[in-house]
Amino acid sequence: MKKTLLAAGFASLMATTAMAQDIGVSMALFDDNFLTVLRNGLDAKGKELGVGLQIEDAQNDVAKQLDQINNFIASGVSAIIVNPVDTSATQAMSDAAAAANIPLVYVNREPVNVDTMPDNQAFVASNELDSGTLQTKEVCRLFKDAGKTEANIYVIMGELSNQAAVMRTKDIHDVIAGPDCGVKVNILDEQTSNWSRDLAQNLMTNWLSTGAAFDGVIANNDESAIGAIQAMKASGVDMATVVVAGIDATQDALAAMQAGDLDVTVFQDAAGQGAGALDAAIKLSKGEAVEQKVYIPFQLVTPANIGDFLAKN
């Protein structure tokens, strides 16, 4: 009986120890094409390294995400990786992890406290200054190549609480207002689709109903660009007459580009970001120093070089 109890106690201790070695991961949303690639990249890298990951879906709920982080802390994980729902709400997450002395790594979305994070916290993503800039410069080039001196566009933004959406939209404004565009670009309207294909389709349908003449659509992400494309095609718009740009280079976006509907996207290495975040989390959990800001480069994707990206996401 004593041996059985000892064996049971030992097994329980081993399970607790194993749990303590897990890394907790809170994703903003499972139901998102790009974030699914990121999550799968994390999962694959974890299996490759033999690291247990406890991955949770915050379902785009800030309070739920903070609860998940507190639960990770209570269960004694060795580190936490967070893809923030709201980048302006990350201070509380950093504070909670710091109070428990558990390393924390933000991935993909830049936290509001990125410049004041404790030494055992880091941020892994791509530099959003490049994303919208690459995208919009290519749109300007396409307008110029088409012989336009002036063009009207619509801008579809991501979630306004998200730093990436804010920065990508600022990039658009900065490029068209600067000397590099070479074409007078007028923004007819800009509204958010919250990164959603369906909401972007509804938004584009509403714009089309106004009858205003336009030459292009620049979206903060591919899902929104695809939604706009679906609305335009449903309304009989000749896709050869408009320029449509997105960001992320998801598989659906690359298929739309191959079909001749999407003209521009920007590759964001979701799997690379996931692997980089896990690498940082593991090193921090061992007390090793890491770069607090790790940027995975964005890359412009067009019909001319699409073959280089078809197998990446």
Is 187 domain-assigned? Answer: yes
Predicted confidence (pLDDT) at residue 56 exceeds the cutoff of 90: yes
pLDDT at res. 228: 98
Residues 162 and 106 in one domain: no
pLDDT at res. 196: 96
pLDDT at res. 9: 36
Predicted confidence (pLDDT) at residue 1 exceeds the cutoff of 60: no
pLDDT at res. 313: 58
Name the domain count of the chain: 2
pLDDT at res. 234: 98
Predicted confidence (pLDDT) at residue 15 exceeds the cutoff of 60: no
Predicted confidence (pLDDT) at residue 249 exceeds the cutoff of 80: yes
**pLDDT tier at 67, thresholds 50, 70, 90:** very high
Residues 63 and 190 in one domain: no
Predicted confidence (pLDDT) at residue 66 exceeds the cutoff of 70: yes
Q: Provide the residue range defining the domain that includes 19.
A: 2-126+270-295
Is 307 domain-assigned? Answer: no
Which whole number is the average pLDDT over 286-303?
95
Tens digits of residue pLDDT in 165-187: 999 999 999 999 999 899 999 99
Calculate the average pLDDT of the chain: 92
Residues 146 and 63 in one domain: no
Residues 91 and 211 in one domain: no
**pLDDT tier at 21, thresholds 50, 70, 90:** low
What is the residue whose two structure tokens read 């970001």? 273
**pLDDT tier at 11, thresholds 50, 70, 90:** very low
Residues 286 and 221 in one domain: no
Residues 197 and 248 in one domain: yes
Residues 31 and 120 in one domain: yes
Residues 94 and 111 in one domain: yes
pLDDT at res. 16: 33
Residues 111 and 232 in one domain: no
pLDDT at res. 166: 95
Predicted confidence (pLDDT) at residue 3 exceeds the cutoff of 50: no
pLDDT at res. 33: 85
Is 300 domain-assigned? Answer: no
Is 154 domain-assigned? Answer: yes
pLDDT at res. 171: 98
Tens digits of residue pLDDT in 128-151: 999 999 999 999 999 999 999 999
Percent of the chain whose predicted confidence (pLDDT) is above 90: 88
**pLDDT tier at 5, thresholds 50, 70, 90:** very low
Predicted confidence (pLDDT) at residue 193 exceeds the cutoff of 70: yes
Is 313 domain-assigned? Answer: no
Domain stop point among 267, 283, 308:
267
Tens digits of residue pLDDT in 89-139: 999 999 999 999 999 999 999 999 999 999 999 999 999 999 999 999 999
Which whole number is the average pLDDT over 212-228?
98
Residues 7 and 104 in one domain: yes
Residues 19 and 110 in one domain: yes
Is 204 domain-assigned? Answer: yes
Is 305 domain-assigned? Answer: no
Classify each residue of 32-45 as buried b or exposed e, where b means 16 or more C-beta atoms within 10 Å of its C-beta: bbbbbbbbebbeeb
Residues 73 and 25 in one domain: yes
Is 302 domain-assigned? Answer: no
CATH of the domain at 92: 3.40.50.2300
